[in-house]
A = this chain, B = another copy of it.
Amino acid sequence: MYNKEEITNWFMSLQDNICNQLEKADGGKFIEDRWKREGGGGGRTRIIQGDVIEKGGVAFSAVHGKTPEKILKALQLSETDFYATGVSIVMHPLSPMVPIIHMNVRYFEMENGTSWFGGGIDLTPHYIDLSDAQYFHKELKKICDKHHPEYYTKFKAWADDYFYVRHRQETRGVGGIFFDRLSPSKEMSLEQLFHFVQDVGNAFSPIYTYLIHKNKNLPFEEREKEWQLVRRGRYVEFNLVWDKGTKFGLDTQGRTESILMSLPPQANWIYSHQPIEGSKEHTTQKYLRKGINWLDII
């Protein structure tokens, strides 16, 4: 049986491993920013401004204290202490040919015995490469299938719904998997859930390393760069308007810099920007919708 200390330690080692792997893939180095939370706990936010990654963060945190009102209300619980730990990643590459990636794994526990895992991983290419999207989803399906026959289908659909820029009626990217409130049950013990979450966490480095190496040397020009900056604007819009994690963090006086490390180094907004019919930008935009079966896209 695992306890929160072991889960926390594993998340810390995951952060270490991922930073090591990303430094190898990128060539640059992370800098670390350690912080403490007034109400209890703290974290270590690691930031890279590298050769491939223009701005990226791998953040670990473990915080505890009085459960925020918002959660108590949502769960219809009275005052109780909480413990939350997790790893969050967002990478904004310099090249528009390399996709943005996001990963999060988290564990939440309350004094009253309630506990759950949550997390997800999703890919936001500036230009959708069908073989990359297929590869990404096949890798995620492999992980899911190891643990539960329905996980991929369920969590893929959940990601489509979650990573949705509603006011643009488009998905953030090609999706991935998203899951929340995975509590121990007869079907899946805490241990089994943790093994699933570990596999998700461990998948990050090989997947993104592959995507970096495959795409980092592709040529691009001013046009691709401009499109990247517009797509990054949509990324900002999603994170600040719709992302529940960001919203929750900012609402509950979380650590602003760690929450907003997900924002790109630069984003542009052009009034009523519309890619030309038939252009590769237009093709990408057409694929930004829910319910696409990426496994069979090619």
The answer to the question of A229 belonging to the interface, with a C-beta cut-off of 8 Å to chain B, is yes
Interface of chain A residues 8 through 38 with chain B (CB within 8 A): 33
Per-residue CB contact flags for chain A residues 107-150 toward chain B (1 = under 8 Å, else 0) read 00000000000000000000000000000000000000000000
The answer to the question of A52 belonging to the interface, with a C-beta cut-off of 8 Å to chain B, is no
Which of B166, B229, B240 lies in contact with A266, CB distance below 8 A?
Answer: B229
Per-residue CB contact flags for chain A residues 258-271 toward chain B (1 = under 8 Å, else 0) read 01110111111111
Interface of chain A residues 48 through 71 with chain B (CB within 8 A): 55, 57
Report yes or no: B263 in contact with A233, Cβ–Cβ below 8 A.
yes
Which of B33, B240, B266, B272 lies in contact with A241, CB distance below 8 A?
Answer: B240
The answer to the question of A199 belonging to the interface, with a C-beta cut-off of 8 Å to chain B, is no
| Interface size bracket, A side | 20 to 34
Which of B168, B253, B265 lies in contact with A269, CB distance below 8 A?
Answer: B265
Oligomeric state, in number of copies?
Answer: 2
Report yes or no: A250 in contact with B55, Cβ–Cβ below 8 A.
no
Report yes or no: B266 in contact with A261, Cβ–Cβ below 8 A.
no
Report yes or no: A240 in contact with B250, Cβ–Cβ below 8 A.
no
- In the complex, the chain B residue whose C-beta lies closest to that of A92 is B269
Interface of chain A residues 234 through 254 with chain B (CB within 8 A): 236-237, 240-241, 247, 250, 253
Report yes or no: A236 in contact with B240, Cβ–Cβ below 8 A.
yes
The answer to the question of A73 belonging to the interface, with a C-beta cut-off of 8 Å to chain B, is no
If the complex has contacts A166-B250, A167-B250, A241-B250, are A265 and B265 also in contact, measured as CB distance less than 8 A?
Answer: no
Report yes or no: B271 in contact with A268, Cβ–Cβ below 8 A.
no
Name 4 extra pairs, CB < 8 A, besides A33-B271, A267-B267: A167-B260, A237-B240, A241-B250, A266-B267
Q: Can you list 29 residue pairs at the A/B interface with Cβ under 8 Å?
A: A33-B271, A33-B272, A45-B271, A47-B271, A47-B272, A55-B269, A57-B271, A166-B250, A167-B250, A167-B253, A167-B256, A167-B260, A168-B256, A233-B263, A236-B236, A237-B240, A237-B260, A240-B240, A241-B247, A241-B250, A257-B272, A260-B269, A263-B269, A264-B269, A265-B268, A265-B270, A266-B266, A266-B267, A266-B269
